[in-house]
Amino acid sequence: MFELPSFDGHETVKWVFDPETGLRAIIAVHSTVRGPGLGGCRVWNYAHSSEALVDALRLSQGMSMKSAMADLPFGGGKAVILGPIPEARRAAQFQAFGRAVAALDGHYVTAEDVGAAVADMEHVSRQTDFVTGLPSQAGAVGGNPAPFTARGVLRGIEVVALRVLDRSDLDGVRVAVQGTGSVGGLLSEMLAERGAKLILADIDMARSADLARRLDAQVAETDEVLTADVDILAPCALGAVITEDLVPEIRAKAIAGAANNQLATPMVGARLAESGITFAPDYVINAGGLVAVAAEYTGVEDLDTVLADVDAIGPRLDTLLAQATEDGTAPDRLADRLAREKILAERARI
């Protein structure tokens, strides 16, 4: 593990096996320098536990960067549960996961990610207080972070449309969305409301087809959507989808989506920049959900304050893209540098 490029100085990596429930999980805490490592719990059917480890490490490191760029008093952590979880054991496995989170004594705070829902976090909360994204009243702070994430991504897409397409609205702007789950589905609805022309794809074809019918959008195959003839590509499924080989095939002028770790390797960001494709660094544009769960966890009650913080993603991305252009740097590289500087400054201060 220590030799893996994705290890990147993680503070703690905890392997969890619970013989009673069959839970197999990995909790990775990248950094607690700025505060507790906050990040969701992903449930996925990994082919091998080494794949799950790399996913946990990459996601957890990304959370440190995301919190730092959003100026939140949190570090980075993430958990993965190795699926499938038998339905009859779901509640018990999430409670066992909650006990594992509790044992980290506040170094890690969990929430939802792909494959985990608000109801799962309720099970976790029976065992530990180090959990957020819990049910909330309509119109109150808290609950499923996906609507906040989608709103932040929309703000980012608006910025990108202005910078790259010289468009101050999204009417007629062509956007391809890969992954029409919690975030991608809501984002598609918001984009359609603003008149964007959508191409949607999901491995769950019934899901994308249903949404496409409702939004009068086109459907594409999951492997074709990334190279569709559109203005903006919004990856909203899983990570590592933008590879070096794919870059010459991409027809979009910009990539701005919710998925974590969209670039397969750090080199891909440079290739995109060389090809004139503007990349909105994922952990900058998709921080809306984190802003919301952080607010819930720290007891912020005013929804307007949280929404204003989510909307701040737009100007933050705009400043980043402007500076990257000025410096002749790829935006993802600049974001990495700025985030690491913030973490180092905090380490020097404490």
Are 321 and 270 spatial neighbours (Cβ–Cβ below 8 Å)? Answer: no
For residue 67, the minimal CB distance to ligand NAI (Å) is 12
Helices (H) and strands (E) in the chain — how many of each? 12, 12
Q: Tokens for 64?
A: 């440190």
State the first-to-last Cα distance of the chain, in angstroms, to the nearest integer: 28
When asked if residue 60 is in the footprint of ligand NAI (CB under 6 A), the reply is no
Phi, psi dihedrals of residue 37, rounded to the nearest 5°: -70, 110
Among 258, 295, 317, 334, binds ligand NAI (CB under 6 A): 258
Structure tokens of 159? 């910025």
x/- letters, 77..96, toward ligand NAI (CB under 6 A): --------------------
Nearest approach, Cβ of 99 to ligand NAI (angstroms)? 24
The residue of the chain with the least Cβ separation from ligand NAI equals: 181
Interface with ligand NAI (CB under 6 A), residue from 4, 203, 308, 322? 203
When asked if residue 70 is in the footprint of ligand NAI (CB under 6 A), the reply is no
Q: Which range of residues in 48-56, 257-265, 268-276, 327-335 is near ligand NAI by CB under 6 A?
A: 257-265
Can 78 be counted among the known catalytic residues?
yes
Which residue from 101, 114, 141, 211 is in contact with ligand NAI, where contact means CB under 6 A? 114
Q: How far apart, in whole angstroms, are the C-alpha atoms of residue 11 and residue 31? A: 6
Residue 142 as a binder of ligand NAI (CB under 6 A): the answer is no
Q: Helix or strand or coil: residue 279?
A: strand
In angstroms, the CA 341 to CA 189 distance is 37
**Residue 133 and residue 142: Cα distance in Å, rounded?**
6
Sequence-distant (≥ 6) Cβ neighbours of residue 253 within 8 angstroms: 164, 165, 231, 232, 276, 277, 278
Please name the residues in contact with 206: beta carbons below 8 A apart, sequence gap of 6 or more.
none
Q: What are the strands, taking DSSP E only, across 19-66?
A: 23-31, 37-38, 41-44
In this chain, which stretch among 10-18, 30-38, 255-263, 338-346 interacts with ligand NAI, using CB under 6 A?
255-263
Residue 213 or residue 347: which is nearer to ligand NAI going by CB?
213
Q: Which stretch binds ligand NAI (CB under 6 A): 109-117, 134-142, 294-302, 310-318?
A: 109-117
149 part of the interface to ligand NAI, by CB under 6 A: yes
Taking the complex as a whole, the smallest distance from the CB of residue 56 to ligand NAI amounts, in Å, to 12
193 touching ligand NAI, by CB under 6 A? no
* # of chain residues touching ligand NAI (CB under 6 A): 28
Among 53, 75, 286, 330, binds ligand NAI (CB under 6 A): 286
| Residues forming a β-bridge with 304 | none
Put residue 35 in one of left, alpha, beta given phi > 0 → left and psi -120 to 50 → alpha.
left
Inter-CA distances, 182 with 148, 206, 291, 350, Å: 11, 15, 17, 38
Member of 60, 67, 93, 260 binding ligand NAI (CB under 6 A): 260
Binding flag, residue 64, ligand NAI (CB under 6 A): no
Query: What binding mask, one character per residue, do residues 216-245 give for ligand NAI by CB under 6 A, x or -?
Result: ------x-------------xxxx------
Give residues in contact with ligand NAI (CB under 6 A). Answer: 113-115, 145-146, 149, 178-184, 201-204, 207, 222, 236-239, 258-260, 286, 289
User: Which residues does the annotation mark as catalytic?
Assistant: 78
